[in-house]
Amino acid sequence: MLLCAAPAMAHAQGVCPGVYSATLLKPLPTPTVVALNVASSSSASSESVQAFMSGLRAAGVTTTGTPTALLRVTYQVAGEGGSTPGGPAMSQAGNPQTGWSSWSNGAQSALQGGISLALPDIPSASMFNPRTKAQSGLLMLRAEIRNSPSEPASWIAVVQCTVRTPDTNRLARQLGYVLGGALGKRVDKARM
């Protein structure tokens, strides 16, 4: 059955459709216990981190115990242009309608410690009838596993997908699930 052959595709469908690839550069430690290398420890980032870790666990990755592998995730979101009522705006509120990515400077930026600007605002049909965002954001994500902070990467994955949900915790969970399913494997341009 197709669902068994491609669990990441079935699991992430509708949330962030796209492709991902991964490669194992050197063997992961046995047993592999993954810890997420988080750039921020704010309470706002905690929900996204927990959602991401929940996705890893759902994919069968061990995340409790003494860590033997450090996972670092970096990303950029492009193209969530849109207007707020009253015209274009630039704000760091983390609102997808403000010209900033909904993953920028908000709870999710802790996964990498950065922000990402969206495309310039596209005017609404009228000032009094604003539209929702002009297009969905394009998420470009890179994940790497290191056996220790001083060693080179043992495993690298890249994801490129179109964000289709405003629920960033759901998105973080789905990304954790996809990456967890590919952990330690070679995957070439698989659909998700």
pLDDT in tens, 136-160: 788 899 999 999 888 999 999 999 9
Taking the model in full, what pTM does it have? 0.70
Q: What is the mean pLDDT of the chain?
A: 74
Structure tokens belonging to residue 28: 């992961």
Per-residue pLDDT tens over the stretch 29-77 = 999 999 998 766 555 568 888 999 999 999 999 999 999 999 999 888 8
8 A C-beta contact, residue 83 and residue 97: yes
Paired tokens of 178: 């996809």
Cβ proximity of 28 and 157 under 8 Å: no
Among all chains, which residue has been given the structure tokens 């706002």?
44
Residues 6+ apart with CB under 8 A from 130: 82, 83, 84, 85, 86, 97, 124
Average pLDDT over residues 90-94: 41
**Of 47, 104, 35, the residue nearest 73 (C-alpha):** 35
Say what percent of the chain tops pLDDT 90. Answer: 45
